[in-house]
Amino acid sequence: MNEPEIKERVAAFLGEHDPAGDRLEFLRARFDAGLAWVWFPEGLGGLGASRELQQVVDRELAHTPQITSGVQGIGLGMAAPTILAFGTEEQRRRFLRPLWTGEEIWCQLFSEPGAGSDLATLATRAVRDGDEWVVDGQKVWTSGAHHSRWGILVARTDPDVPKHRGLTYFVCDMHAPGVEVRPLRQITGEAEFNEVFLTGVRLPDDLRLGAVGDGWRVAQTTLMNERVAIGGAASVRRGGGMLGAVLDTWREQPELRTHDLHQRLLALWVEAEVTRLSGARLREQLVAGHPGPEGSGMKLSFARLNQALSGLDVEMRRDLGYDDWAFRRSETVDFYGRGPGYRYLRAKGNSIEGGTSEILRNIISERVLGLPAEPRVDKDVPWKDLPR
């Protein structure tokens, strides 16, 4: 399928579906017409077309009802590609449509109090009981769990084998008895994320994603997509994004301009431009296949830049008052609709979420640059024998 053909499809779709009508019906119809994510297979929101044609569709449908991508970031960026890659036909049909339309929100139940960077040490147990699994454990930093219908969950199903091998990946029913969600407050004063307690939660076996014991491989697909989703999925215009906010401050407050600030702003401008162009290249690579370790580089740059730019912005705005640091509650991360104080504090989390910057440097050094690997003394030790 080429650009004129896809435009024809969109025109035919708009001829049959009035964008001014019911929002949800319009979004469902868009999914059914294969115009949700065009590179997905037919019947699953796509047309089996090239991923780059999605930009054409998005442009043509820019003035029609849109999906709420903020609160569904984990669903769209991470759960959907994992379900597509590892889900059964039944699971793909059950989950993808309400995920895309936003009728069912998703969260990510990976991190635990004792397992973050070294995720494979996680301790949440899933024990088979007939056609069900009984899950017990605690997850933490679970963004959006308080409005989620489903969670992507990694649990330990075999403690007798080394840590990476005894894991299985599930879809967790967040409404099941035994799932308890408690808010955690962040430095911004908000509570985007939660701790989630799982006590005797029964999940039917048909909520398992991938084979028993193959959870680490399935989780890798999620994590690779997460780094791309955080670091490089959205295209930013030249001088836009977080850089745009700082440039506005620079223009609005000429009295603050010093040679030193100018030099620093220029250096960050160059770095932002290199990151922006690397993002464009990454998106081209995505057209050709699944994200690789290169996504880690984008996420690393994104975090560093966000922190440096939001810091410079706060430094230049010497007039910040109480209101700039007092926050209203919000459902989603919103870097550009909020003040500089919010941006500065929220950007701190960018070098932690989705893999810390130290871990991403390890991945880049080993898997992109081919440098010697970190010593991994526990990789052949059964999980149950690891010191905790």
Ligand X SMILES: Cc1cc2nc3c(=O)[nH]c(=O)nc-3n(C[C@H](O)[C@H](O)[C@H](O)COP(=O)(O)OP(=O)(O)OC[C@H]3O[C@@H](n4cnc5c(N)ncnc54)[C@H](O)[C@@H]3O)c2cc1C
Residues that bind ligand X in the complex, under the rule CB under 6 A: 107-108, 110-111, 116-117, 141-143, 193, 349, 352-353, 355-356, 358-359, 362, 374
Q: How far apart are CA 305 and CA 275, in angstroms?
A: 9
Given the complex with ligand X, which of 24 and 187 has the nearer CB atom?
Answer: 187
Closest distance of CB 101 from ligand X, Å: 21
Between residues 45 and 73, which has the closer beta carbon with respect to ligand X?
73
Pairing relationship of beta strands 106-109 and 150-156 according to DSSP bridges? parallel
Q: Which residues pair with 115 in a beta bridge?
A: 112
CB-based burial, 342-356: b 16+ in 10 Å, e otherwise: bbbbbbbbbbebbbe
Q: Which one is catalytic: 112, 190, 192, 226?
A: 226
Nearest distance in Å: CB 12, ligand X: 39
Q: With CA atoms as reference, report the closest residue to 61 among 95, 87, 36, 90.
A: 36
Tokens of 62: 């820019």
In the complex, least distance from residue 110 CB atom to ligand X, rounded to whole angstroms:
3
Half-sphere exposure of 340 (CA within 13 A, CB side): 22
Instruction: For ligand X, give the closer residue by CB, 172 or 207.
Output: 172
Are the beta carbons of 110 and 119 closer than 8 angstroms? yes
* CB 327, min distance to ligand X, A: 15
Please report how close the Cβ of residue 87 comes to ligand X at its closest, in angstroms: 20
> DSSP 3-state assignment of 159?
coil
Residue 142 CB, nearest approach to ligand X (Å): 5
Nearer to ligand X, 181 or 314 (CB): 181
Within 10 angstroms of residue 1's Cβ, the number of other Cβ atoms is 14
For 3, 274, 362, 365, 380, the CA distances from 314, given in Å and listed in that order, are 44, 23, 31, 33, 48
As beta bridge partners, residue 46 has 42
How many residues does this entry show for the chain? 388
Q: What is the largest CA-CA distance in the chain?
A: 72
Is 226 one of the annotated active-site residues of the chain?
Answer: yes
CA-nearest of 211, 201, 205, 194 to 125 is 201
Residues involved in catalysis: 226
